[in-house]
Amino acid sequence: MEFDLYVPQMRLSGEAMVARAQAAEASGFHGMAGMDHLAPPLAESQPMLSSMVTNTWLAAHTSALVLSSLVLCDSFRHPAILAQEAASLDSLSNGRFELGIGWGSVVDEMVAFDIASPDAKTRVARLRDSLVIMKALWSGERVDYDGEVFSLTAAQQGLVPLFKIPIVIGGFGPQTLKLVAEHADWWNVAVNGIDRLEEMRAHAGKARVSIQQMVGFVPSEADRDEVVANTARRFGPMGGPKVGDAAELVDYFGELERQGIERVYTWFSDFARPETIEAFGEQVIAQLT
C-alpha cells in the first residue's frame, strides 16, 4: 500500500505547503494532492491557491514526491490547455505529475461562476471528450476529433510527456465507471462506498483502487480526547473519519489493503502538521510499505 498526503491549499501559506510536502517526502509518502475549486466549498470567503500553480510550486521544492489533485474539475479548463499544463508539469518535475480529474460535483460553484452546465450528463460528456483529446495530444501527433462537446482539426502539441501521465478518476456512477474502465490508471473510491467495492470492481476495468481517508492521528492516549473532538469539529459534516493511534491505524489500513485498496489519500484533521506527517510515516507507513 502507498500513501499520498491530501492537503487542501487553503488557510496555509506557500511556505507552509512546502513544509508539509517536504515532510511527506522525507516520511515515506508517495505523493501529495490538493483540491480544485474556484472558491472552497463551505468556506467560500477563504482565500484558496490555484491547484496547478500550487503543484508546480511544490514540484520545484521537492525531488521525489508525485504531485496531483483530487480532483481537477474538467469544466474549469479547455482540454488542450490542460493537456499542455499537464505535459509541462510532467516535464519540469521529471515525470512527477498525475492527472486526477472529474466532471465536477459542486453545481452551485459552476452556476455562481457561470463556468459549466449544471446538467450532469453534459459534464460527463465533456469529460469523455477531454480525456480522449488529452491522450491524443500527448502523442505529439496531429489530432482530428469530432466529439460531443469539442472538435479539433489538425491540432498538434509538440510537448510530449516524459512518461505516461497516470490518470485518476473517482466515482461509482455508471457513466463515470465507463470512463474509469476506458481511461483511468487509478479508480478513487469514496470511503462511504467501500462496502460496494466488490460489487462495482468489475465495472472499473484494470484501474487500481485508491481511497481518500480522513484521519485523526492519536500520538498518545493523553491526546485522544482532544484528537477525537478536533476530528469531529473538522470533518463532522463530511462523515467517515478514522481516529486511532498507530497500532489502530495499521490494523485499519491493513484491512483495506486486504480488500485490494492500493493507495490512500490521507487527510489529517490537524491540517497535516509536519510533526504529524513524520510520526505517521515512522509508525504507520513504515509498517505497511
Residue 20 has pLDDT above 80, yes or no: yes
User: Is the C-alpha dihedral spanning 137, 143, 148, 150 positive or negative?
Assistant: positive
CA–CA separation, 3 vs 24, rounded Å? 10
Task: Give the number of other Cβ atoms within 10 Å of residue 77's Cβ.
Answer: 18
β-pairing verdict for 2-6 and 143-146: unpaired
Kindly give, in sequence order, each residue whose CB lies less than 8 Å from that of residue 73, ignoring residues fewer than 6 positions away: 36, 37, 101, 102, 103, 104, 116
Per-residue pLDDT tens over the stretch 131-175: 999 999 999 999 999 999 999 999 999 999 999 999 999 988 899
If DSSP codes are grouped into helix, strand and coil, which group holds residue 76?
helix
Give residue 118's pLDDT.
84
Give residue 254's pLDDT.
97
Q: Is the pTM of this model over 0.85?
A: yes
CA–CA separation, 287 vs 289, rounded Å? 6
Residue 239 has pLDDT above 70, yes or no: no
